[in-house]
Amino acid sequence: MDAGELIDNRYIIREQIGYGGFGTVWKAADNENGGYVAVKSLRHRWLKSSRMIECFKNEFNLLKQLPDENTIRPLNLISDTGRYLIVMEYLAGGPLSQRIRGRGVLNIDAAISVVVKMLKVLNHSNRLGIVHKDIKPSNILFADDGCETPKLGDFGLAYFSAKHHGSTVHNRNSGTMGTLAYMPPEQLNGNRLNIKSDIYSLGMTLYKMITGRLFFRDDILDSQIIRKTICNSFREHPGRYRPEIPFWLDELIMRMISPEIYKRPENPQEILKIIELNRG
């Protein structure tokens, strides 16, 4: 797509605002309602892949099933001239990844607040049996410059972990597709995933928010080294990089990112209770 292009006789493309392995995100003006929307297009290289087209459509269908308080609100699914587009609400605050790069680590209370809202999303998705599979800072976006309105997006790799009758989304597991640095060991190994897999990725995201790094060096480029590090039992405590992190939070993060799935919290509600108890 190009700036100035009219989509569906309604949306005028303004500029590219995001880019990933599966799609490109554009900011567009909405001629009907005023204001702006985000338009996500499936990359040209995937247009002949029925599997990737399914992933793309699934994102729209999954977002419709989740409350939009802390998930990106889907507006329209468009298929024209061989293209696939998702129109979504536009979030002017940008992604968490950009915020960490530009401003550095988050205030600990602000980071916890973001995680609490993400846990509420996971609590709801867990009841539906949905596994997101790609929780990371670039998939958490903000409505404005503050941290009060984070929203989880990019459900393109998500799938149902159990049989849900009446679902419009097929139960599937797209292997090791996702973002390597935030993947739990079971995803790397191609094993079945569940809510504890998303808890791991959210724990890694929290680690990044409050330390500005992961438990392994961010400059490692060799994917095999990263894989071995993730599957290894050793994890450096986040408190090593930021001593003011409360002990209870340090221990909670270590549980969330445990390489052994049975050692992680059972569900989002358990983590919410731990946070509520320790924040008073």
What CATH number does residue 70 fall under? 3.30.200.20
Residue 172 confidence (pLDDT) above 50: no
Range of weakest confidence among 32-36, 50-54, 129-133, 158-162: 158-162
Residue 210 · residue 106 · CB < 8 Å: yes
Q: Is residue 1 part of a domain?
A: no
Residue 174 confidence (pLDDT) above 50: no
Query: Are residues 109 and 237 both part of a single domain?
Result: yes
Cα(254)–Cα(179) distance, rounded to whole angstroms? 20
Residue 75 · residue 89 · CB < 8 Å: yes
Q: Is residue 190 part of a domain?
A: yes
The reported pLDDT for the residue numbered 55 is 84
Residue 163 confidence (pLDDT) above 60: no
Query: Are residues 80 and 185 both part of a single domain?
Result: no
Q: How many domains does the chain have?
A: 2
Relative orientation angle of helices 268-279 and 247-256, to the nearest 10 degrees: 170
Give the end of a domain, one of 28, 58, 89. 89
CATH code, domain carrying 124 = 1.10.510.10
Q: Is the pTM of this model over 0.75?
A: yes
Condensed to tens digits (0 to 9), the pLDDT of residues 207-231 reads: 999 999 999 877 776 888 889 999 9
Closest CA to 135 of 72, 202, 193, 181: 202
Give the end of a domain, one of 89, 109, 128. 89
pLDDT tier at 43, thresholds 50, 70, 90: confident
Query: Are residues 77 and 99 both part of a single domain?
Result: no
Query: Are residues 167 and 213 both part of a single domain?
Result: yes
Closest CA to 89 of 139, 136, 151, 18: 151
Q: Is residue 104 part of a domain?
A: yes
Query: Are residues 68 and 152 both part of a single domain?
Result: no
Query: Are residues 122 and 238 both part of a single domain?
Result: yes
Query: Are residues 65 and 134 both part of a single domain?
Result: no
Q: What is the domain range of residue 203? A: 94-279
Query: Are residues 257 and 194 both part of a single domain?
Result: yes
Give the end of a domain, one of 51, 70, 89. 89
pLDDT tier at 50, thresholds 50, 70, 90: confident
Query: Are residues 111 and 146 both part of a single domain?
Result: yes
Condensed to tens digits (0 to 9), the pLDDT of residues 119-149 reads: 999 999 999 999 999 999 999 999 988 888 9
Q: Is residue 35 part of a domain?
A: yes
The more confident residue out of 88 and 80 is 88
The reported pLDDT for the residue numbered 221 is 66
Cα(68)–Cα(82) distance, rounded to whole angstroms? 29
